[in-house]
Structure 1
Amino acid sequence: MKGKIEVNQNTENKDSNNNHHHHHSHNQQHSRHEHSHEEKHTHHEHSHPEKQNQSEHSHNHTHHSHAEHKDQSHHNHHAHHGHMIEDFKRRFWISLIVTIPILFLSPMIQMFLNVDWRFPYDSYILFGLASFVFFYGGWPFLTGARDELRQKQPGMMTLIALAIVVAYVYSVMATFGLTEGDFYWELATLIDIMLLGHWIEMKSIMGASRALEELVQLMPSEAHLLKDNGEIIDIQIKELKEGDLVLVKPGEKLPVDGKITDGNSTIDESMLTGESVPIEKGVGDQAIGGSINGEGSLTIRVEKTGESTYLSQVINLVKEAQETKSKTQDLSNRAAKWLFYLAVGAGIVTLVIWLLLGYPFSFALERMVTVMIISCPHALGLAAPLVVAVSTAISAKKGLLIRNRAHFENARNITGVVFDKTGTLTKGEFGVTNLLTENGFTDEQVLQLAASLESKSQHPIADGIVKEAHTRNLKLSHVHDFKSLTGKGLEGIIAGRHIMVVSPGYVKNENIQFNQSHFNEWSSEGKTVVFVLVNRSLVGMIALADIIRESAKIAIHKLKDMGIKSYMLTGDNQKVANYVAKQLDMDDVIAEVLPHQKSEKIEGLQKEGLKIAMTGDGVNDAPALVKADLGIAVGAGTDVAIESADVILVNSNPEDVVNIVKLSKATYKKMIQNLWWAAGYNIIAIPLAAGVLYNAGIVLSPALGAVLMSLSTIIVAINAKTLKI
Structure 2
Amino acid sequence: MDEHDHTQHKHTVDATPNVTEASHLHSDEIHTGHEQHAHHAHMTHDHASHQEPVPHAPENVAAKPPAAHPHEHEHGTAPAQDHGKMDHENMEPASGHAGHHEHMVADFRKRFWVTLGLTIPVTLLSPMIMMLFGFHLDFPGANIVVFVLSTIIFFYGGKPFLKGAMDEWKQRSPGMMLLISLAIVSAYIYSTFTAFFITGSDFYFELATLILIMLLGHWIEMKSQMGASKALEELIKLMPKVAHKLDSAGNSSEVSVEELVPGDRILIKPGEKIPLDGKIFEGSSTVDESMLTGESVPVEKQPGMAAIGGSINGNGVLKVTVEKVGNETYLAQVIQMVTNAQQQKSKAQGLADKAAKWLFYIAVTAGILTFGYWLLAADLPFALERMVTVLVIACPHALGLAVPLVNAVSTSIAARNGLLIRNRTQFEEARKIDRIVFDKTGTLTEGNFGVTDIVPAEGIAEKDLLTLAYSVELQSEHPIAKGIVRKGEADQLTPLEVKDYQNLTGQGLQALVNGVLVAIVSPGTMDERALAYYRSKYAELAQQGKTVVFVLKEDRLQGMIAIADMIRDSSYAVIAALKEQEIESFMLTGDNSRVADYVGKKLGMAQVFAEVLPAEKSKHIVALKEGSKKVAMVGDGVNDAPALAQADLGIAIGAGTDVAIETADVILVDSDPQDVLTIIRLSKATYRKMVENLIWAVGYNVIAIPLAAGVLNNQGIVITPAIGAAVMSISTIICAVNARLLKID
Same fold by TM (over 0.5)?
yes
Q: How does 1:262-273 map to 2 (within 5 A)?
A: none
Contact map agreement 1:130 1:188 (CA 8 A) in 2: no
Q: Structure 1 524/193 Cα, relative in aligned 2: closer, same or farther at 3 Å?
A: closer
More divergent stretch after superposition (447-456 vs 698-707): 698-707
Q: Give the corresponding residue for 2:149.
A: 136
Deviations 1:615-639 (A, max 9, x none): 5667877887788666667677789
Measured on the aligned residues, the alpha-carbon RMSD in Å equals 5.5
Q: Select 1:93's aligned residue among 74, 96, 120.
A: 120
Contact map agreement 1:619 1:640 (CA 8 A) in 2: yes
Deviations 1:618-672 (A, max 9, x none): 7877887788666667677789989998777676643354455455555555555
Residue 450 of structure 1 and its aligned partner are, at CA, apart by 1.2
> What letter matches 1:197 in structure 2?
I
Q: Give the corresponding residue for 1:156.
A: 180
Deviations 1:278-331 (A, max 9, x none): xxxxxxxxxxxxxxxxxxxxxxxxxxxxxxxxxxx9xx99x9789924323653
Contact map agreement 1:156 1:340 (CA 8 A) in 2: no
Q: Give the corresponding residue for 1:497.
A: 516
> What letter matches 2:66 in structure 1?
S
Q: Give the corresponding residue for 1:35.
A: 69
SS in 1 for 2:585: strand
Q: How does 1:649-688 map to 2 (within 5 A)?
A: 653-659=672-678, 661-662=680-681, 665-666=684-685, 669=688, 672-688=691-707
SS in 2 for 1:464: helix
Q: Structure 1 31/601 Cα, relative in aligned 2: closer, same or farther at 3 Å?
A: closer
Separation (CA, whole Å) in 1 of partners of 2:644 and 2:110: 45
Q: Structure 1 481/553 Cα, relative in aligned 2: closer, same or farther at 3 Å?
A: same
> What letter matches 2:113 in structure 1?
E
Contact map agreement 2:111 2:157 (CA 8 A) in 1: no
Separation (CA, whole Å) in 2 of partners of 1:325 and 1:711: 34
Q: Select 1:204's aligned residue among 216, 220, 228.
A: 220
Q: Which runs of 5+ in 1 are unaligned?
A: 3-10, 43-62, 216-240, 244-257, 260-312
Deviations 1:3-51 (A, max 9, x none): xxxxxxxx99569xxx947x44652xx331x334725999xxxxxxxxx
Residue 432 of structure 1 and its aligned partner are, at CA, apart by 0.9
Q: Select 2:497's aligned residue among 478, 496, 500.
A: 478
Contact map agreement 1:615 1:631 (CA 8 A) in 2: yes
Contact map agreement 1:418 1:569 (CA 8 A) in 2: yes
Contact map agreement 1:447 1:469 (CA 8 A) in 2: yes
Q: Structure 1 528/408 Cα, relative in aligned 2: closer, same or farther at 3 Å?
A: same
Separation (CA, whole Å) in 1 of partners of 2:639 and 2:227: 34
Contact map agreement 1:635 1:650 (CA 8 A) in 2: yes
Q: How does 1:205-220 map to 2 (within 5 A)?
A: 207-208=223-224
Deviations 1:102-139 (A, max 9, x none): 966x6x987xx9xxx9xxxx9xx467445433432464
Q: How does 1:414-453 map to 2 (within 5 A)?
A: 414-438=433-457, 441-453=460-472
Percent of aligned pairs sharing the same letter = 41
Q: How does 1:246-285 map to 2 (within 5 A)?
A: none
Separation (CA, whole Å) in 1 of partners of 2:571 and 2:515: 45
Q: Give the corresponding residue for 2:371.
A: 348
SS in 1 for 2:558: strand
> What letter matches 1:375 in structure 2?
A
Q: Structure 1 581/31 Cα, relative in aligned 2: closer, same or farther at 3 Å?
A: same
Residue 454 of structure 1 and its aligned partner are, at CA, apart by 0.5
Separation (CA, whole Å) in 2 of partners of 1:322 and 1:629: 10
Q: Select 1:327's aligned residue among 349, 357, 362.
A: 349
Q: Does 1:462 align with 2:481?
A: yes
> What letter matches 2:213 in structure 1?
G
SS in 2 for 1:499: strand
Contact map agreement 1:343 1:375 (CA 8 A) in 2: no
Separation (CA, whole Å) in 1 of partners of 2:617 and 2:107: 51
Q: Structure 1 594/64 Cα, relative in aligned 2: closer, same or farther at 3 Å?
A: closer
Q: Give the corresponding residue for 1:303.
A: none
Q: How does 1:561-580 map to 2 (within 5 A)?
A: 561-568=580-587, 579-580=598-599
Contact map agreement 2:367 2:388 (CA 8 A) in 1: no
Contact map agreement 1:25 1:399 (CA 8 A) in 2: no
Contact map agreement 2:112 2:212 (CA 8 A) in 1: no
More divergent stretch after superposition (705-714 vs 72-81): 72-81
SS in 1 for 2:501: strand
Residue 463 of structure 1 and its aligned partner are, at CA, apart by 0.8
More divergent stretch after superposition (532-541 vs 137-146): 137-146
Separation (CA, whole Å) in 1 of partners of 2:442 and 2:656: 8
Q: Structure 1 25/709 Cα, relative in aligned 2: closer, same or farther at 3 Å?
A: same
Q: Number of residue pairs matched? A: 567
Q: Give the corresponding residue for 1:227.
A: none
Q: How does 1:119-130 map to 2 (within 5 A)?
A: 125=138, 128-130=141-143
Q: How does 1:15-54 map to 2 (within 5 A)?
A: 20=58, 23-24=60-61, 26-27=63-64, 30-32=65-67, 34-36=68-70, 38-39=72-73
Separation (CA, whole Å) in 2 of partners of 1:459 and 1:72: 40
Q: Does 1:547 align with 2:547?
A: no
> What letter matches 1:545 in structure 2?
A
Separation (CA, whole Å) in 2 of partners of 1:595 and 1:145: 44
Q: Structure 1 202/401 Cα, relative in aligned 2: closer, same or farther at 3 Å?
A: closer
Contact map agreement 1:321 1:405 (CA 8 A) in 2: no
Contact map agreement 2:707 2:718 (CA 8 A) in 1: yes
Contact map agreement 2:366 2:709 (CA 8 A) in 1: no
Separation (CA, whole Å) in 2 of partners of 1:561 and 1:407: 23
Question: TM-score w.r.t. structure 2 length?
Answer: 0.60
Residue 549 of structure 1 and its aligned partner are, at CA, apart by 1.8
Greater helix fraction, Structure 1 or Structure 2? 1
Q: Give the corresponding residue for 1:234.
A: none
SS in 2 for 1:688: helix
Contact map agreement 1:373 1:705 (CA 8 A) in 2: no
Residue 469 of structure 1 and its aligned partner are, at CA, apart by 0.8
Separation (CA, whole Å) in 2 of partners of 1:708 and 1:164: 21
Q: Give the corresponding residue for 2:293.
A: none
Question: TM-score w.r.t. structure 1 length?
Answer: 0.61
Residue 89 of structure 1 and its aligned partner are, at CA, apart by 2.2
Q: Structure 1 88/321 Cα, relative in aligned 2: closer, same or farther at 3 Å?
A: farther
Q: Structure 1 399/170 Cα, relative in aligned 2: closer, same or farther at 3 Å?
A: same
Q: How does 1:221-260 map to 2 (within 5 A)?
A: none
Residue 468 of structure 1 and its aligned partner are, at CA, apart by 0.4
Separation (CA, whole Å) in 2 of partners of 1:68 and 1:503: 49
Residue 467 of structure 1 and its aligned partner are, at CA, apart by 0.5
SS in 2 for 1:38: coil
Contact map agreement 2:472 2:498 (CA 8 A) in 1: yes
Q: Structure 1 625/448 Cα, relative in aligned 2: closer, same or farther at 3 Å?
A: same
Q: Structure 1 686/475 Cα, relative in aligned 2: closer, same or farther at 3 Å?
A: same
Separation (CA, whole Å) in 1 of partners of 2:694 and 2:661: 33
Residue 528 of structure 1 and its aligned partner are, at CA, apart by 2.5
Residue 462 of structure 1 and its aligned partner are, at CA, apart by 0.8
Q: Structure 1 136/347 Cα, relative in aligned 2: closer, same or farther at 3 Å?
A: farther
Q: Which runs of 5+ in 2 are unaligned?
A: 1-20, 23-51, 77-89, 170-177, 231-254, 258-270, 273-334
Residue 565 of structure 1 and its aligned partner are, at CA, apart by 1.9
Residue 435 of structure 1 and its aligned partner are, at CA, apart by 1.9
More divergent stretch after superposition (570-579 vs 424-433): 570-579
Q: Structure 1 628/157 Cα, relative in aligned 2: closer, same or farther at 3 Å?
A: closer
